[in-house]
A and B are shown apart, each in its own frame.
Chain A
Amino acid sequence: MSEKFGETYVSERLDRALAAVRDDADGVEALFRGQEASFMRLAEAAIIQAADVVEGKVTVRAVVGGREARVVTTDLSDEGLESCARMAVARAREVAAGGEEARLAEPGDAPVALPRAMDAATARLDAETKGRWLAAGLAAHAKDGLALAGRFHTGALTLAVRSTTGVNGYHRGSFSEVSLSSLERPAGHKASAYRARTDARVDEATVAALVEATRAECHLAHDPVSVGLGAWDVVLAPAAVAEILMWLGDIAFTSRSVDDGMSFVEGRVGERVTGEAVSIVDDGSMPHAVGVPLPFDAEGQPKRRTSLVERGVARGIVHDSASARRAGCRSTGHAALADEFPTSGSKPTHLHLEPGDASPQELIGRLDRGLLVTRLHYVNGMIEPKRAVMTGLLRDAAFLVEGGRISRAVETMRFTDSILEAFGRIPDRQAISRDLEAHTGWFDPWGCQVAPWVLVPGLRFTSGR
Chain B
Amino acid sequence: MRELDRSAREALAALALEAASTAGARFAEARVVRRTRESLEYKDGRLELSTLQEDVGVGIRALVGDGWGYAATNLLDAASLAETGRRAVAMARATAGSATRGVELPAAASGEYATPLREDPFAVSLADKSALFAEAHARMLAEPGVKAARGTYTGHRQETTFVATNGSRQHQRVTLCGGGVTAIATANGDVQQRSGPKSFEGNVLQGGFEQFRAMGLPEMARELAREAVALTAADPAPTGPTTIILDGSQLSLQIHESVGHPIELDRVLGEEISLAGASFLLPDNLDRLTYGSELVSLTADATTPLGPGTFGYDDEGTPATRTPIVERGRFRGYLSGRDSAARIGRASASALRAESWSKLPIVRMINVNLEPGSGSLDDLIGGVDQGMLLSTNKSWSIDDLRLNFQFSCEIAHEIRGGKLTGRIFKNPLYADVTPRFWRACSGIAGPEAWRMWGWTFCGKGDPGQIMYVGHGCAPARFDGVQVGSS
Contact = CB atoms under 8 A, between A and B. Distances in A.
Interface stretch (A45-53, A197-205, A399-407, A450-458): A45-53
A19 interface: no
A40 interface: yes
Interface stretch (B46-54, B213-221, B296-304): B46-54
A58 to B, nearest CB: 10
Interface in A326-360: 339-344
Given A187-B278, A340-B466, A382-B394, A51 B126 contact: no
Interface residues of A, number: 100
A41 interface: yes
Given A39-B463, A339-B53, A384-B486, A51 B72 contact: yes
Contacts of B46: 96, 98-99
B49 A344 contact: yes
Interface in B57-75: 57, 68-75
A269 interface: no
A414 B397 contact: yes
Interface string A404-419: 0000000010101000
Nearest to A177: B463
Contacts of B69: 50-51
A261 B191 contact: yes
Contact of A48 (B184, B271, B275): B271
Interface in B19-64: 39, 41, 43, 46-57
B1 A344 contact: no
Nearest to B184: A260
A90 to B, nearest CB: 10
Given A47-B95, A54-B72, A72-B53, A412 B404 contact: yes
Given A75-B2, A260-B147, A377-B277, A127 B90 contact: yes
Interface string B385-403: 0000000001111111101
Contacts of A463: 404, 406, 431, 482
A1 B87 contact: yes
B211 interface: no
B404 A151 contact: no
A384 B403 CA distance: 23
B356 to A, nearest CB: 10
Contact of A414 (B56, B269, B406): B406
Contacts of A131: 94, 97
Contacts of A94: 125-127
B91 interface: yes
A384 B52 CA distance: 32
A386 B273 contact: no
Interface stretch (A78-86, A218-226, A422-430): A78-86
Interface in A426-452: 442-443
A80 B462 contact: no
B98 A96 contact: no
A259 B2 CA distance: 39
B46 to A, nearest CB: 4
A208 interface: no
Interface in B176-190: 184, 186, 189-190
A98 B403 CA distance: 50
B106 interface: no
Given A52-B90, A261-B147, A76 B464 contact: no
Contacts, number: 281
A84 B2 CA distance: 9
A179 B463 contact: no
Given A49-B360, A51-B72, A342-B41, A72 B148 contact: no
Contacts of B462: 41, 150-151, 179, 443
Given A382-B394, A414-B431, A181 B273 contact: yes
A181 B57 CA distance: 33
A216 interface: no
A114 interface: no
A231 to B, nearest CB: 16
A310 interface: no
Contacts of A385: 191
A115 to B, nearest CB: 27
A442 B41 contact: no
Nearest to B191: A261
B440 interface: no
A262 interface: yes
A442 B460 CA distance: 9
A420 to B, nearest CB: 13
A4 B50 CA distance: 30
Q: Which range contains the number of B residues in contact with the other chain?
A: 35 or more
B133 to A, nearest CB: 11
Contacts of B273: 43, 147, 149, 181, 183, 187-188, 192
Interface in B270-309: 270-275, 277-280, 282
A95 B57 CA distance: 30
B394 to A, nearest CB: 6
Interface stretch (A22-30, A299-307, A389-397): A389-397
A372 B9 CA distance: 54
Interface in B69-89: 69-76, 80, 83-84, 87-88
Q: Which of A55, A77, A79 has the most CB of B within 10 A?
A: A55
B50 A70 contact: yes
B262 to A, nearest CB: 11
A138 B91 contact: no
A378 B398 contact: yes
A453 B166 CA distance: 54
Contact of A188 (B52, B97, B278, B396): B278
Contacts of A272: none
A131 B48 CA distance: 47
Contacts of A377: 277, 399-400
A98 B44 CA distance: 12
B275 A189 contact: no
B476 interface: no
A465 interface: yes
A77 B75 CA distance: 9
A391 B397 contact: yes
A317 interface: no
Contacts of B280: 189
A38 interface: yes
B74 A54 contact: yes
A51 B61 CA distance: 9
A11 interface: no
Contacts of B80: 54
Nearest to B406: A391
Contact of B55 (A72, A188, A391, A395): A72
Contacts of A383: 394-395, 408, 427, 429, 486
A180 to B, nearest CB: 8
A91 interface: yes
A443 B463 contact: yes
Interface string B89-113: 0111111011110000000000000
Contacts of A183: 270, 273
A398 B14 CA distance: 51
A282 interface: no
A361 interface: no
Contacts of A465: 399, 401, 403-404, 433
18 contacts: A43-B269, A48-B271, A49-B68, A51-B69, A54-B74, A74-B57, A87-B54, A94-B127, A98-B46, A127-B90, A181-B274, A188-B273, A261-B191, A378-B400, A384-B486, A387-B486, A463-B404, A465-B403
Given A53-B72, A391-B397, 5 more contacts: A75-B74, A261-B186, A342-B49, A382-B408, A414-B431
9 smallest beta-carbon distances between A and B, as pairs? A188-B278, A187-B270, A443-B463, A46-B98, A50-B91, A127-B94, A74-B74, A51-B70, A382-B395
Interface of B: 1-2, 39, 41, 43, 46-57, 68-76, 80, 83-84, 87-88, 90-95, 97-100, 125-127, 130, 147-148, 150, 184, 186, 189-191, 269-275, 277-280, 282, 358, 360, 394-401, 403-404, 406, 408, 427, 429, 431, 433, 457, 459, 462-464, 466, 482, 486
